[in-house]
């Protein structure tokens, strides 16, 4: 017995040695390491053939809001959407006095080293590093298990005692402390340990709170759970795009970190799992550089979508819940199961699928030869249950779209009651999925005016290509319905504000919010036109009069043929891009996704709000690509009429160039999920959302990485000058 105890203690103490391994043992290639900084957040990424991990250190800066920006160490793994976090406080109780940072190894020079211990069915994997405290600290809130649990705490202060009570604390009496937690699957254990590595440093346990003296500590963070197979940058990109690996190393490494053999992940760290909408928008924008064919990133994304379709009605899954949190929710429902759970509450996600399938299986030269190989596959299934073919599921999705859109497309059916609305009991349903993102609206602008017709047109294209042989009328049915949705929905969302009223509203908006910038009301020379975010908003608003950037969906996805409507639509988009905030949408920090200057209530649309007066990287990307798409139609043999209207054509080109100017000015943050701004010295400067809000932004977001493929068309840089015959960009007649 004595020898067994000695061996156990020796094994336990070995866990405190840093690092466990100094290389990716057994891997044929070198590990990937890179660091992305968006102060007060520093993000460290490590991956090898065994696992991938992201480590985020947050430490307050001078000027930080100290109730929001507190010292924290957070580690997230794509496998199981898993994570742990340690929230620290200064022992002296003075907010802002504690600074934490990682210290590079004096041996390897690296901030992180891998943990890899083959054992049982799944090896123990993780990362090891050194963390420094400038003053004595205490670990008050440790969370181990799921990214979903971490999000619940960081965004809403939610902690479930059923989870937290399973934490186990160990003080070894030599300055080393361990916190671990057995998962609800009774197989996985996640562990976080600290041991002193500088003279005088020591950790101890006091009533489930870990106390540290000032100094440096080795931390080890690990768990035993099935890992994912990561796609390397060379596997994610087409051969012709491999030059991006050297030209844009951080972006291509980030894209690789989010790309796996069986799915694409939405963002690091908060969304390290499948999100349907995010995957599809990303693939559509990345289509020119994304690898295709067997084992490719494009195919991994397509198969992940088909695999998760609801077999009962064809709904495309919005989000998956996996790992420890799935087991927990199953347990709450009285089930002993580790099976993933899927969220189908969104009303926009379904419409993207046929658009993506048409892009891959019809437009992509590699994908068009993969139709049978992919669509003849069947879903994974439980014991005793037959799988369903992906072809059948794609057909089920198309059928749902046709049924959903049929009432509005019917004769005399073009009434508000037949538009697509959020599901009963849900406050969200499309990409603006925060509680205030639609201003309380129930009938979203983007879904009705862009996504529904785009999905229908794609179904018609697929039907023409023989994808639905049992439904010979679908091509004509879908095409006719698409035209009606394309032409007859915009009018419901039109907002027109007389010039004098608009000037008064922006003046009131600036003064009531005590903004330090001018209202720019003098730039309003005529009535202001835009399309509202949604219908049936809060406070009995028939239209939620929030100027917004969701025009990008229609520009990117449609080729409208109602000439008068198209000319007016591209014209108002250009006006609102060229107009400075708060009159329009553009700031030095980027194009805002919302401008509430013209509405009765601005609550939920501030610069600290997730869908407020903030900038989202992917909307910049889609708007840029959408405007380029519409301008490209001017080179067709039968161009749209707006191309012949010199004042509108020049204005759209100017808007395209203005947009790209602010995109290029914010290159450093383009890969972020979103960012907000501060106004200083007469300009809007980008800052992390997490500086102002407990809902922080991901440093790498799949759909924000689309700037790898979306590039400025230099041909438009001086084209307005040429067309107008006058010098200087942004010339408007």
Which pLDDT tens digit goes with each residue over 468-524? 999 999 999 999 999 999 999 999 999 999 999 999 999 999 999 999 999 999 999
626 plus 701 within the same structural domain: yes
Return the pLDDT at 11.
37
Residues 25, 100 within the same domain = yes
Q: Residue 714 class from Cβ within 10 Å (0-12 exposed, 13-18 middle, 19+ buried)?
A: exposed
Concatenated DSSP letters of 370-399: -HHHHHT-B----TT----BHHHHHHHHHH
What is the average per-residue pLDDT within 665-675?
97
- What confidence category does residue 530 fall into, taking pLDDT thresholds of 50, 70 and 90? very high
Q: What mean pLDDT do residues 652-668 have?
A: 98
Q: Determine the average pLDDT of the residues in 310-335.
A: 97
Interatomic CA distance for residues 459 and 461, integer angstroms: 5
Helix axes 323-332, 147-156, angle to 10 degrees: 80
Contact 619, 552 (CB under 8 A): yes
Q: What is the DSSP letter of 290?
A: B
Kindly state whether residue 698 falls inside one of the protein's structural domains: yes
What is the mean predicted confidence (pLDDT) over 170-183?
98
Are 722 and 652 in contact by the 8 Å Cβ rule? The answer is no
At 718, is the pLDDT very low, low, confident or very high (cuts 50, 70, 90)?
confident
> Tokens 């037949």 identify what position?
418
Q: Report CA-CA distances (Å) from 165 to 149, 160, 172, 184, 685.
A: 14, 8, 21, 12, 43
User: What is the band of 729 on the pLDDT scale with cuts at 50, 70, 90?
Assistant: very low
Q: Which helix (H) or strand (E) holds 88?
A: strand 82-90
Distance CA 338, CA 326 (A): 6
- Tell whether 463 is covered by a domain: no
Which tops the pLDDT comparison, 722 or 358?
358
Distance CA 19, CA 637 (A): 65
7 has pLDDT over 70: no
Neighbouring CB atoms inside 10 A of 329's CB total: 16
> Does residue 564 sit in the same domain as residue 634?
yes
pLDDT at 18: 42
**Sequence-distant (≥ 6) Cβ neighbours of residue 353 within 8 angstroms:** 280, 305, 316, 394, 397, 455
φ, ψ (nearest 5 deg) of residue 684: -95, 120
Looking at residue 384, its pLDDT comes to 53
Structural domain range at position 655: 497-530+545-724
3-class state of residue 266 by DSSP: coil
List Cβ<8 Å contacts ≥24 apart for 415-418: 416/443, 416/492, 416/535
Question: Into how many domains does the chain fold?
Answer: 3
The verdict on residue 320 lying in a domain is: yes
Nearest Cα residue to 432 out of 610, 671, 623, 669: 610
Residue 356 lies in a domain: yes
Average pLDDT score over residue span 262-285: 98
- Of the residues 448, 464, 481, which one is the last residue of a structural domain? 448
Q: How far is CA 270 from CA 49, 258, 493, 508, 609, in A?
A: 23, 12, 33, 37, 17
Same domain, yes or no, for 238 and 214?
A: no
Q: Is the pLDDT of residue 14 over 60?
A: no
Residue 470 inside a domain? The answer is: no
Q: What are phi and psi of 643, to 5 degrees?
A: -65, -25
- pLDDT band at 10, cuts 50/70/90? very low
Q: Note whether residue 78 is domain-resident.
A: yes
Taking CB atoms within 8 Å and a gap of at least 24, the contacts of 61-68 are 64/40, 64/96, 64/691, 65/691, 65/692, 66/95, 66/96, 67/95, 68/690, 68/691, 68/692, 68/693, 68/694
pLDDT in tens, 349-385: 999 999 999 999 999 999 999 999 999 999 986 555 6
Question: Among residues 523, 533, 532, which one has the least CA distance to residue 502?
Answer: 523
120 and 179 assigned to the same domain: yes
106-110 contacts, C-beta under 8 A, 24 or more apart: 107/22, 108/19, 108/22, 110/33
Give residue-wise pLDDT tens across range 550-581.
999 999 999 999 999 999 999 999 999 999 99
Residue 524 and residue 406 share a domain: no
Residues 212 and 301 in one domain: no
Tokens of 586: 């553009």
Buried b (16+ CB within 10 A) or exposed e, 625-642: bbbbebbeeeeeeeebeb
- Exposed/middle/buried for residue 493 (C-beta within 10 Å: 0-12, 13-18, 19+): buried
Q: Sign of dihedral through CA atoms 262, 267, 271, 275?
A: negative
Q: Please say which residue of 432, 448, 464 terminates a domain.
A: 448
Structure tokens of 494?
């039109």
CA distances from 433 to 197, 348, 441, 621, 675 (A): 45, 11, 11, 19, 16
pLDDT surpassing 70 at residue 1: no
Kindly report whether the peptide bond that precedes residue 164 is cis, defined as omega within 30 degrees of 0: no
Contact status, residue 395 vs residue 311, Cβ threshold 8 Å:
no
Residue 197 and residue 137 share a domain: yes
Is the domain of 427 the same as that of 574? no
Residue 477 resides in a domain: no
| pLDDT (mean) for 445-464 | 98
Residue 16 pLDDT greater than 90, yes or no: no
Helices (H) and strands (E) in the chain, counts: 21, 33
pLDDT at position 3? 37
Residue 186's region, left for phi above 0, alpha for psi from -120 to 50, else beta, is left
Confidence of residue 726 (pLDDT cuts 50, 70, 90): low
Same structural domain, 347 and 255 = yes
Residue 729's contacts (CB-CB under 8 Å, 6 or more residues apart) are 654, 657, 717, 718, 720, 721
pLDDT at 15 over 50: no
Between CA 543 and CA 268 the distance in angstroms is 35
Residue from 567, 541, 285, 594 nearest 434 by CA = 594
Q: What is the mean pLDDT of residues 409-415?
A: 98
**pLDDT tens digit sequence for 26-60:** 899 999 999 999 999 999 999 999 999 999 999 99
Work out the percent of the chain whose per-residue pLDDT is above 90.
92
Question: Does one domain contain both 274 and 300?
Answer: yes
pLDDT, residue 22, reads 44
The model's confidence at residue 595, banded by pLDDT at 50, 70 and 90, is: very high
The residue out of 161, 190, 224 marking a domain boundary is 224
**Which is it for the CA torsion 694, 699, 705, 710, positive or negative?**
positive
Q: Is 688 helix (H, G, I), strand (E, B) or coil?
A: coil
The C-alpha atoms of residue 63 and residue 61 are separated, in whole angstroms, by: 6
User: pLDDT by residue (tens digit) across 621-653?
Assistant: 999 999 999 999 999 999 999 999 999 999 999
User: What whole-number percentage of the chain has pLDDT above 70?
Assistant: 95
- 566 within 8 A of 641, measured Cβ to Cβ: yes
Q: Are residues 216 and 288 in the same domain?
A: no
Contacts of 417 (CB under 8 A, 6+ apart): none
- 612: three-class secondary structure by DSSP: coil
Burial class (CB in 10 A: 0-12, 13-18, 19+), 269: buried
Task: Give the per-residue pLDDT at 385.
Answer: 64
pLDDT mean over 327-346: 97
Task: Kindly state whether residue 323 falls inside one of the protein's structural domains.
Answer: yes
Q: Give the pLDDT confidence of 677-690 residue by residue, as tens digits.
A: 999 999 999 999 99
DSSP letter for each residue of 134-198: SS-EEEEEEEEEEHHHHHHHHHH----HHHHTT-EEEE-SSS-EEEEEE-TTSS-EEEEEEEE-S
What is the chain's percent helix, strand, coil content, to nearest 5? 40, 20, 40
User: Any idea how long the chain is?
Assistant: 733
């Amino acid at each position: 017995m004595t020898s067994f105890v000695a061996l156990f203690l020796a094994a336990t103490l070995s866990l405190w040695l840093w690092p466990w391994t100094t290389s990716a043992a057994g891997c044929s290639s070198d590990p990937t390491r890179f660091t992305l900084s968006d102060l007060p957040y520093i993000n460290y990424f490590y991956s090898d053939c065994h696992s991938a991990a992201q480590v985020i250190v947050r430490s307050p800066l001078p000027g930080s809001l100290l109730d929001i920006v507190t010292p924290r160490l957070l580690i997230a793994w794509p496998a199981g959407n898993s994570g742990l976090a340690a929230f620290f406080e200064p022992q002296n109780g003075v907010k802002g006095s504690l600074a934490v940072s990682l210290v590079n190894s004096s041996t390897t020079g690296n901030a992180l080293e891998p943990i890899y211990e083959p054992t049982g069915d799944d090896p123990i994997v993780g990362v090891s590093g050194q963390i420094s405290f400038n003053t004595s600290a205490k670990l008050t809130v440790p969370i181990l298990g799921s990214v979903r649990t971490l999000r619940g705490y960081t965004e809403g202060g939610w902690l479930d005692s059923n989870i937290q009570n399973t934490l186990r604390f160990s003080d070894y009496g030599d300055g080393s402390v361990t916190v671990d937690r057995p998962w609800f699957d009774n197989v996985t254990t996640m562990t976080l340990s600290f041991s002193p590595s500088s003279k005088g440093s020591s950790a101890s346990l006091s009533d489930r709170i870990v106390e540290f003296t000032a100094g440096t500590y080795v931390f080890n963070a690990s768990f035993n759970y099935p890992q994912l197979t990561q796609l390397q940058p060379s596997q994610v990109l087409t051969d012709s795009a491999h030059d991006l690996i050297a030209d844009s190393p951080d972006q291509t490494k980030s894209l690789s970190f989010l790309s796996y053999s069986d799915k694409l992940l939405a963002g690091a760290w908060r969304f390290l799992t499948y999100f349907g909408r995010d995957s599809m928008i990303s693939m559509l924008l990345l289509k020119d550089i994304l690898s295709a064919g067997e084992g490719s990133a494009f195919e991994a994304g397509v198969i992940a979508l088909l695999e998760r379709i609801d077999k009962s009605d064809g709904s495309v899954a919005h989000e998956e819940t996996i790992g420890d949190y799935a087991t927990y929710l199953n347990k709450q429902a009285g089930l002993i199961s580790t099976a993933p759970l899927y969220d189908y509450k969104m009303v926009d996600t379904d419409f993207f699928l046929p658009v993506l399938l048409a892009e891959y299986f019809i437009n992509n030269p590699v994908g068009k030869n993969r139709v049978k190989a992919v669509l003849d596959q069947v879903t994974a299934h439980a014991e005793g249950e037959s799988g369903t073919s992906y072809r059948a599921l794609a057909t089920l999705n198309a059928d749902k779209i046709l049924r959903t859109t049929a009432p509005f497309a019917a004769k005399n059916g073009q009434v508000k009651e037949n538009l697509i609305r959020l599901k009963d009991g849900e406050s969200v349903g499309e990409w603006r999925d925060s509680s205030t993102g639609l201003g309380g609206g129930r009938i979203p602008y983007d879904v009705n005016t862009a996504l529904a017709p785009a999905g229908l047109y794609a179904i018609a294209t697929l039907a023409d290509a023989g994808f639905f042989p049992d439904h010979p009328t679908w091509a004509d049915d879908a095409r006719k319905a698409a035209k009606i949705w394309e032409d007859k929905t915009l009018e419901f969302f039109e907002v027109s504000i007389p010039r004098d009223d608009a000037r008064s509203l922006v003046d009131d908006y600036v003064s009531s919010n005590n903004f330090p910038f001018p209202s720019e009301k003098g730039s309003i020379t005529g009535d202001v036109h835009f399309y509202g975010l949604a219908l049936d908003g809060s406070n009995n608003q028939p239209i939620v009069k929030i100027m917004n950037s969701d025009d990008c969906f229609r520009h990117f996805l449609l080729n409208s043929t109602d000439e008068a409507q198209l000319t007016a639509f591209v014209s108002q988009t250009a006006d609102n891009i060229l107009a400075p905030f708060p009159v329009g949408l553009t700031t030095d920090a980027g194009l805002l996704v919302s401008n509430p200057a013209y509405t009765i209530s601005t609550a939920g649309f501030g610069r600290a709000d997730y869908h407020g007066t903030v900038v989202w990287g992917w909307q910049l990307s889609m708007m840029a690509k959408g405007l380029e798409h519409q301008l490209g139609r001017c080179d067709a043999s039968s161009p749209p009429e707006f191309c012949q209207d010199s004042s509108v054509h020049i204005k759209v080109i100017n808007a395209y160039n203005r947009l790209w100017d602010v995109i290029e000015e914010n290159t450093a943050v383009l890969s972020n999920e979103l960012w907000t701004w501060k106004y200083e010295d007469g300009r809007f400067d980008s800052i992390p959302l997490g500086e102002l809000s407990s809902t922080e932004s991901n440093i790498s977001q799949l759909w924000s990485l689309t700037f790898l493929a979306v590039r400025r068309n230099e041909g438009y840089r001086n084209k307005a000058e040429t067309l107008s015959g006058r010098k200087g960009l942004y010339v408007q007649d």
